[in-house]
Structure 1
Amino acid sequence: MTDQRAHGFGAGAAAGDTGAAGNAGSTERLSTRETAALLGVKPETVYAYVSRGQLSSVRAPGGRGSTFDADEVRALARRTGRREAPPTGEADLAFRTGITLIDQDRYYYRGVDAGELALNHGYEEVAEWLWTGELRPGVRFSAPAHALTAARQAAAALPAHSGTTDLLRVAVIAASAADPLRFDLSPASVLDAARGLIPTLVGALPPATGAPGGTAPSSAAPAGDGPAGAGPGIAARLWPALTARPADPASLAALDTALALLIDHDLAASTLAVRVAASAHAHPYAVVSAGLGALEGPLHGAASGLAHRMLREVVERGGAAPVVANHLRAGARVPGLGHRLYSGEDPRARVLFTLLEDVPEAAPALAAARDVVSTAARQVPLHANVDLALAVLSVSMGMPAEAGETVFAVARTAGWIAHALEEYAERPLRLRPRGRYTGPPPPQELPSPVTPSTSAGGAGNAR
């Protein structure tokens, strides 16, 4: 909470806490996540109920999040027609993982605070920690020349209007085809492929419009693993693909930290897709392709683009009020606010906001983000999430709206590999759920064929 007050984010976050201890109808208390699950809504909707007086809440012990009276929540569920969530074993897919823990508005990589890791170590170092449990100071990943050439050629063959995710997806396929050892699923082979794939993806991206030199630094001449100073890291190689502006040390540090913060976040949709592919023993390139496919959804990786466009409009209009009002009037969520796993501010956003305060060019976008949070808090007490923090970086550095998604995809590739390594060690094809059939009861008669004269647009429709 100290950081939130210091930086002005999450203003009014406690507005929904009505101090309803005296109104409790039972001794059973539910957390925000449990309340949201029982009501069948998102956590931010729970706080909307509080702000409207339909629910009461009290601070949880220690001041982390809120708790709700179970009887009151169930009564609201009955009034709103919501059905209680089925037992956990029926509704959720949960399995062992030693990679990331999200708890009490913080998250940890192998038990170590992820924010502290990202602030003190570069993206490659944090990736190695997740993969191996070993910290290798100054490690650098290198792109195999043949894979990089194939990836660039494949990306260059796409239409000019193709997005960054399109480029990354074909780059993965090209790199896969260039690696005859891709079917070797031993940990050493998978890690070797991962250390080559990530810089290959970055090197396949064209430079941003107006970027000097026409290529990202060191993409064509990969640096090998080695001590600090052996070559630029992934952040430095990615920067020219995101913006034509030169990178100053503070901005580059913010990008490197963002990459490290985004490596993994438990079982997000793309990570679940990765685990399913790995359960079928798909090779690491196919696993990453599965992750990229899920990431492209507007409710996952593409969410950062919505926050970018919103924040840019706030900066241009000089205030958040009309922009937030337009979103609320349209019945749409305000981008960059709220996260189903955190009752307070997204810890990834908190770290990035702190770093961006050292970037003078980020001051207008940072002020605009604060304005968005405080303005929206008058209606629903939501906190900033990492999409809003990425938007501050992308808007202030003249990056396109899809820059956040690009950062997300490159960063998360390392996390997907970590999950694939875990899944390869499990029983194959264990992630095979059973469907609950809701179609017509069998046996049904054979369907009658549709003839051209009766089908829409068929040959019988002569004009």
Structure 2
Amino acid sequence: MRDQEPAPPDTERRLSTKEAAELLGVKPETVYAYVSRGQLSSRRVSGRRGSTFDAGEVQALARRNRREGAGTSGSGGELSVRTRITLIESDRYFFRGVDAVDLAAGHTYEEVAEWLWTGRMLPGSTFTAPAASVAVARRAVDALPEHAAPTDLLRVATIAAATADPLRFDLSEDAVLGTARTLIPTLVAALPPAGHQRRDEGPLAHRLWSRLSVHKDPDEASLRALDTALALLVDHDLAASTLAVRVAASARAHAYAAVSAGLGVIEGPLHGAASGLAHRLLQDVLDQGDAAPVITDELRAGRRIPGLGHRLYPGEDPRARALFALLEQIPRAEPALLAARDIVETTARHAPLHANVDLALAVLTASCGMAPTAGETIFAVARTAGWIAHALEEYGERPLRMRPSGLYAGPKPPQPLPE
């Protein structure tokens, strides 16, 4: 039998700040934060000191907070967070309800990013980096040693750009969107050129190409493949780096700090760096002309084969499928495509795994004159837009909700002081 619902409050009754705080289970300061965010309305009442609040409105907010609090805990010990950004199901993924592959096929990276942030399609969207931000970011990046990894460069550039923005602590939607539209091109502008002059105008993919490829004059098909890769990778639900971003945003860290948190996680070999491992594997297959001995050496060393399988796609990774289709239109990509097919077919004898987006990225980077680390750069630049979308969403939630409780498993206290 369902528990009896409590009687609805007297909607005419007004609550004091203290009473509203007690009902919501928060501090009085938080009650005024709800007012500033438009989640509660307040009013002065003659004969009463301070603001008053409608009892029904407060109770409704308390119920909503309880539901949302319950929504952050999933079954099986996994964290689940309610989001309106990305859905992954049945070997497909969707951005705000629209097929992400279709979006990437018909729109630029900038347009897809705007859709992710605002739910509006803005044709012809371009991102422009402020000269002051670019200057300080380039100085910081240029000071790093030559062996610095791509995420090192991007993380330092992010921090440097933050110091040049006196409004970084403004977490309003318009301010954060302004940060997003300038931070992403600043990150690209701060990267060193790949053997020829930087390009600092045109679509973001064109600017990024000059930082990644030794080919000075790319063909249109290659540029389209890079732009589509950026759009395909813009978000992927609550990946590890995205969760880190939401934790930072939950603590009300500014957007630069939230992006920096994501960059710190993306460097792991099981996340953003996976495409570099796939690139090196692919290059070994190209050098030897046969995947079998390369796969044998990987397995003998106890390593998993990069670029294959994905825990969220029992079937084919839709990002890989879309990117491979574009790469087939680039003649110089044919050897790398054949090598990738050899890898999949060789491993399929014992483990029927499909190619994932890391292998598709490896084909792109290996066939377009890019370093093995280029896929990591593409991944990080692309995902910055998704991180900011999640930070924006988290700023609208109850602060510090990403605070799980530890399950202590150490010695039972009290223990004697150590010698």
Alpha-carbon distance in structure 2 between the residues aligned to 1:343 and 1:164: 31
Structure 1 residue 233 corresponds to structure 2 residue 215: no
Structure 1 residue 119 corresponds to structure 2 residue 101: no
SS of equivalent to 1:102: strand
- The answer for the alignment partner of 2:351 in structure 1 is 380
Structure 1 residue 295 corresponds to structure 2 residue 266: yes
- The answer for the alignment partner of 1:330 in structure 2 is 301
Alpha-carbon distance in structure 2 between the residues aligned to 1:383 and 1:298: 19
Alpha-carbon distance in structure 2 between the residues aligned to 1:232 and 1:435: 49
- The answer for the alignment partner of 1:180 in structure 2 is 166
Out of 144, 147, 150, the position equivalent to 2:130 is 144
Partner AA of 2:199 in structure 1 = P
Alpha-carbon distance in structure 2 between the residues aligned to 1:196 and 1:95: 28
Partner AA of 1:126 in structure 2 = V
- The answer for the alignment partner of 2:150 in structure 1 is 164
After superposing on structure 2, the runs of 4+ consecutive aligned residues of structure 1 that deviate more than 4 Å are none
1:302-381 to 2 correspondence within 5 Å? 302-381=273-352
Out of 83, 87, 90, the position equivalent to 1:101 is 87
Gaps of 5+ in 2: 1-72
**Offset from partner CA, 1:86-126 (integer Å, 9 cap, x none):** x9535111121010000000000001110010011000000
Structure 1 residue 217 corresponds to structure 2 residue 199: yes
**Offset from partner CA, 1:141-192 (integer Å, 9 cap, x none):** 0001111100000001111221211111110000000000000000000000
Alpha-carbon distance in structure 2 between the residues aligned to 1:420 and 1:99: 11
Alpha-carbon distance in structure 2 between the residues aligned to 1:266 and 1:88: 15
Alpha-carbon distance in structure 2 between the residues aligned to 1:298 and 1:335: 10
The CA deviation at 1:329 is 2.1
**Offset from partner CA, 1:198-228 (integer Å, 9 cap, x none):** 00000000001x22x3xx212xxxxxxxxxx
Partner AA of 1:241 in structure 2 = R
Aligned residues: 346
The CA deviation at 1:244 is 1.3
The CA deviation at 1:233 is 1.0
SS of equivalent to 1:415: helix
Out of 228, 235, 241, the position equivalent to 1:270 is 241
SS of equivalent to 1:379: coil
The CA deviation at 1:327 is 1.6
The CA deviation at 1:328 is 2.0
Alpha-carbon distance in structure 2 between the residues aligned to 1:130 and 1:252: 22
Structure 1 residue 135 corresponds to structure 2 residue 117: no
Out of 177, 183, 196, the position equivalent to 2:182 is 196
Question: Do the aligned residues in 1 keep the contact of 2:74 with 2:80 (CA within 8 Å)?
Answer: no
Could you tell me the percent identity over the aligned residues? 68
- The answer for the alignment partner of 1:423 in structure 2 is 394
SS of equivalent to 1:338: coil
TM-score (ref. length: structure 1):
0.74
- The answer for the alignment partner of 1:396 in structure 2 is 367
SS of equivalent to 2:94: strand
Partner AA of 2:356 in structure 1 = N
SS of equivalent to 1:107: strand
SS of equivalent to 2:415: coil
- The answer for the alignment partner of 1:58 in structure 2 is none
Partner AA of 1:234 in structure 2 = L
- The answer for the alignment partner of 1:226 in structure 2 is none
The CA deviation at 1:331 is 2.6
Partner AA of 2:176 in structure 1 = V
Out of 228, 231, 244, the position equivalent to 2:214 is 244
**Offset from partner CA, 1:258-300 (integer Å, 9 cap, x none):** 0000000000000000000000000000000000000011111
TM-score (ref. length: structure 2):
0.81
SS of equivalent to 1:179: coil
**Offset from partner CA, 1:366-419 (integer Å, 9 cap, x none):** 010011101100010100000000000011112111100000000000000000
- The answer for the alignment partner of 2:7 in structure 1 is none
Alpha-carbon distance in structure 2 between the residues aligned to 1:121 and 1:154: 33
SS of equivalent to 1:333: coil
- Shift of the 321–175 alpha-carbon distance from structure 1 to 2, 3 Å rule, reads same
Gaps of 5+ in 1: 1-86, 219-230, 449-463
SS of equivalent to 2:298: helix
SS of equivalent to 2:87: strand
Out of 235, 253, 266, the position equivalent to 1:282 is 253
Alpha-carbon distance in structure 1 between the residues aligned to 2:184 and 2:218: 21
